[in-house]
Chains A and B, each alone.
Chain A
Amino acid sequence: MIAFILRRLVQSVIVMLAVALVSFALFRFVGDPIASMVGQEVTLAERAEIREALGLNDPFIVQFWNFIARAATGDFGISYRLQQPVMELILSRLPATLELALVSGILAFAFGVGFGVYTALRRGSWVSGTIMTVSLIGVSLPTFLIGVLLIWVFAVELQWLPSFGRGETVYIGNWWRTGLLTESGRASLILPAITLGLYQMTLIMRLVRAEMLEVLRTDYIKFARARGLSNRAVHFGHALKNTLVPVITITGLQMGSIIAFSIITETVFQWPGVGALFIRSVQFVDVPVMAAYLMLIALVFVVINLIVDLLYYAVDPRLRVDRANAKS
């Protein structure tokens, strides 16, 4: 197991380095870094001086190393567009994105597992049929279109919920601005969370259903029934637990997708998060923000992957046998 984790760690480091290389290349080769920092009136000689001072004449490896060293401390420079330190910008918007992603993830998991189990156990009932058909449409609908349609129905026509922004927010601690503690904040969260979670929910639901049907056919479920265990114990004690092993992996990985897809949802609902910031930076070719976001999203994925691997070990005792063997 240790070896496995180590291998995954090495792989993660390589992925991070590759992404760092792309980010660095963006920084170094897109536009003229000097031009974006100083005014027109600076002379060529002065420019050359700044060049030297910034280390832009150093060998590639040295520059790359410096870039990584700075990135590791969260220094990605100043946004071209907003003239603020990039890390400050990202940190101030991170709570909005994380709150949205977390609520969507919980919604997607709860309803995905619930509907998945239901449609697996009540196969052939009309309710299951309806859920499955609707989910097929859910998978084919682009996320942004779901958002737009929800706004139309619930914000424009029914006027039940706000269509944009986070509502009222309050600070928790120094920098975490939350919308979860105010009524308008929670109301503002509903539509974006549904939009973001719907696709993941249908994925989880279909996965749970397929896995559950698979598990229900296994010998140990037959044996559990033959021992006279109640349906409840068989379905929820035995079948569901075994179903959740692969589902946890996928769901964990979906958390990464949720954060990624928040780019789209945040744009639709003008949600002041990191994703919306990134889209603006792509439109304006705001390289420092783009580079930082690239690194951030890669880090999120790598960390989530590692956590999922560890979770897998926690849930499935069969995988722990390696460790037992290694000890003896």
Chain B
Amino acid sequence: MTEFTPDESRPNALARAWDSDIAYSFRRSPLAIIAAVVSLIIILAAVFAPWIAPHDPFNPATLNLMDGFTPPMEPNAFTGNVYWLGTDNQGRDVFSTILFGARISLFVGFMAVLFAMVLGITLGLIAGYRGGWVDSLLMRVADVQLTFPSILLALLIFGVARGFIPPAYREAMAIWVLIVAIGLSDWVQYARVVRGATMVEKSKEYVQAARVIGAHPAKILLRHILPNVMGPVLVIATIGLALAIIAEATLSFLGVGVPPTQPSLGTLIRIGQGFLFSGEWWILLFPSLTLLALALSVNLLGDWLRDALNPRLR
């Protein structure tokens, strides 16, 4: 396998890589195919939840308390209604709550990754380009941050940020605070990759040339570096997505994440745990399985992507 050099025209290099090596490796890895299919199904189901879900679990008008605790695939003792995955204590269809829960989990996950990516790339560019004390400071912070597990960091940031938000807005802002907290806990790896690439590129002649003709070198750098780091960034982002989904689920499970009015998969598992001892296992099992399938398949996809983009690392 050949490496692409920075001199090759960018879109072609990317397109070629996508057409050949990646696609080839993908076709040959059954695990990657399964992981991709599972992720895609869950993502699509989440995106189209309002159209797919048989019930609207958040509209009290459509809920019937008599439907509560219906086991999966069995008609309800009072109403005779049948629900695929059963209902919870309030008669909400578990399948529908999972669809809407996955929607929130994925939204938070994607947004957090996006936030971390933009932040990491920006800081990485600045550190690599400016060098000197800016670089030392940023990398020092990164080192220190890496010694803390990211879920703990997200939790601490979330807790602190929640403290600073006036009580009236806490519920409404919760999701965004959560996104920023998870994003802030996971920017370091992007910054490291981009910083490394920037330091290599900035000494090259075209950057000097750009400076001579008066163009801002940073702009040029961005155009040249981003394509170079696309691969590693994509890998980090994919694994980061799995981490972000788990972080969100964990925080929500702990009752400090999304507000109860917008239950994510983590919230559903939290609710489900309460019914374990009374025997309504389905309220816990199905959200858990969904979260597991989602986290595992995105993780596997990230692992595969890392190997496929960088065969030497195997």
Residues of A within 8 A of B (CB): 11, 15, 22, 26, 29-30, 137, 139-145, 148-149, 151-152, 156, 163, 253, 256-257, 260-261, 263-264, 267-268, 278-279, 281-283, 285, 287, 290, 294, 297, 301, 305
Q: How far is the CB of A159 from chain B (nearest CB, A)?
A: 11
Partner of A149, one of B144, B155, B246, B288: B288
> Contact at A301–B148, with CB atoms within 8 Å?
yes
B249 within 8 A of A: yes
> Contact at B299–A283, with CB atoms within 8 Å?
no
> Contact at A261–B151, with CB atoms within 8 Å?
yes
> Contact at A142–B152, with CB atoms within 8 Å?
no
Known: A267-B255, A268-B273, A287-B163. 4 other contacts (CB 8 A): A11-B144, A152-B284, A282-B256, A285-B162
Residue of A nearest to B289 (CB): A145
Task: Tell whether A261 pairs with B242 under 8 Å between CB atoms, given A151-B276, A156-B276.
Answer: no
Task: Tell whether A282 pairs with B288 under 8 Å between CB atoms, given A257-B149, A305-B147.
Answer: no
Return chain B residues, CB-CB under 8 Å to A267.
253-255
> Contact at A142–B295, with CB atoms within 8 Å?
yes
Return chain B residues, CB-CB under 8 Å to A151.
273, 276
* Complex Cα gap A11–B266 (Å): 37
Q: How far is the CB of A85 from chain B (nearest CB, A)?
A: 20
Q: How far is the CB of A143 from chain B (nearest CB, A)?
A: 7
> Contact at B296–A294, with CB atoms within 8 Å?
no
B66 within 8 A of A: no
Taken residue by residue from 143 to 184, chain B's Cβ proximity to chain A (1 for < 8 Å, 0 otherwise) reads as: 010011101100110111011100100000000000000000
> Contact at A140–B254, with CB atoms within 8 Å?
no
> Contact at B292–A141, with CB atoms within 8 Å?
yes
* Complex Cα gap A285–B161 (Å): 10
Return chain B residues, CB-CB under 8 Å to A156.
276-277
> Contact at B273–A264, with CB atoms within 8 Å?
no
- A-B contacts, 18 of them at CB < 8 A, read A26-B163, A139-B299, A140-B292, A140-B296, A142-B291, A144-B253, A144-B254, A148-B284, A148-B288, A253-B147, A260-B152, A263-B155, A268-B273, A290-B163, A294-B156, A301-B147, A301-B148, A305-B147
> Contact at B246–A260, with CB atoms within 8 Å?
no
Residue of B nearest to A281 (CB): B159
Residues of B within 8 A of A (CB): 140, 144, 147-149, 151-152, 155-156, 158-160, 162-164, 167, 242, 246, 249-250, 253-256, 266, 269, 273, 276-277, 281, 284, 288, 291-292, 295-296, 299-300
Q: How far is the CB of A144 from chain B (nearest CB, A)?
A: 5
Residue of B nearest to A279 (CB): B254
Return chain B residues, CB-CB under 8 Å to A290.
159-160, 163
Residue of A nearest to B277 (CB): A156
Return chain B residues, CB-CB under 8 Å to A30.
163-164
Task: Tell whether A297 pairs with B152 under 8 Å between CB atoms, given A144-B254, A279-B255, A305-B147.
Answer: yes
Q: How far is the CB of B246 from chain A (nearest CB, A)?
A: 5
Residue of B nearest to A152 (CB): B276
> Contact at A256–B147, with CB atoms within 8 Å?
yes
Return chain B residues, CB-CB under 8 Å to A149.
288
* Complex Cα gap A268–B253 (Å): 9
> Contact at A264–B276, with CB atoms within 8 Å?
no
> Contact at B269–A257, with CB atoms within 8 Å?
no
Task: Tell whether A263 pairs with B295 under 8 Å between CB atoms, given A144-B250, A285-B162.
Answer: no
* Complex Cα gap A283–B288 (Å): 23
Task: Tell whether A282 pairs with B152 under 8 Å between CB atoms, given A140-B242, A156-B277, A263-B254.
Answer: no
Q: How far is the CB of B301 from chain A (nearest CB, A)?
A: 11
> Contact at B273–A148, with CB atoms within 8 Å?
yes
Return chain B residues, CB-CB under 8 Å to A281.
159
* Complex Cα gap A173–B214 (Å): 74
Q: How far is the CB of A15 from chain B (nearest CB, A)?
A: 6
* Complex Cα gap A268–B140 (Å): 35
Q: How far is the CB of B22 from chain A (nearest CB, A)?
A: 22
Return chain A residues, CB-CB under 8 Å to B281.
152
* Complex Cα gap A209–B151 (Å): 25
> Contact at A263–B269, with CB atoms within 8 Å?
no
Q: How far is the CB of A129 from chain B (nearest CB, A)?
A: 14
Return chain B residues, CB-CB under 8 Å to A260.
148-149, 151-152
